[in-house]
Amino acid sequence: MGRDAGFIAAHAGLASGALAVMIPEREMTIEQLLDRLNEAKRHNKSSSIVIVAEGGKSGNATEIAAEVSKQMPFYETKVTILGHIQRGGSPSCFDRNLASRLGVAAVEALLKGKRDAMVGMVHHKVVLTPFEKAISDKFRLDSEIVRISDILSI
């Protein structure tokens, strides 16, 4: 996942306390990653999580892990590929409430005569976005998530 957008990877990185997130929106080279891993080692970090989105240009998770193993043989690298295991998981409280609100909003919008629109949330409020706009606008990652992740991963 994360072929075009790294927001799931960025959120997963923050939630898991990852050392680095490699996402399409912010390229990180292998050299930059190795620098961060070395720095983490200097700060006595005992383990490091690296989240790799599918669309990153530095290679996939397996390739990156192989390169890290080669350059830093004292690290044991392990790779976990999340895919449908995650997508088919049980909904959290947040998921259930979001989906419940969107489902009711979709029906109420239709009954009010609105059509051809995506139901979504903006600033915690239900908002309708016309399909034309919904598919043409690119979702931008909130850089705050990556910034906080960087601060907390030292």
Which of the stretches 52-60, 64-72, 85-93, 142-150 binds another protein when contact is defined by CB under 8 A?
A: 85-93
CA distance 38 to 31: 10
With CB under 8 A as the contact rule, the residue among 57, 73, 88, 122 that binds another protein is 88
With CB under 8 A as the contact rule, the residue among 30, 49, 82, 109 that binds another protein is 109
CA distance 103 to 108: 9
- Pairing between strand 20-22 and 50-52? parallel
Indicate whether 82 belongs to the interface with another protein (CB under 8 A): no
Contact (CB, 8 A) for 53 and 2: yes
Which of the stretches 25-33, 50-58, 60-68, 105-113 binds another protein when contact is defined by CB under 8 A?
A: 105-113
Indicate whether 111 belongs to the interface with another protein (CB under 8 A): yes
Write the CA distances from 135 to 46, 113, 132, 138, 141, integer angstroms.
43, 21, 6, 8, 16
- Judged by beta carbon, residue 40 or residue 118, the one nearer another protein is 118
Residues of the shown chain interacting with another protein in the complex, contacts defined by CB under 8 A: 84, 87-92, 95-120, 128, 131-132, 134-135
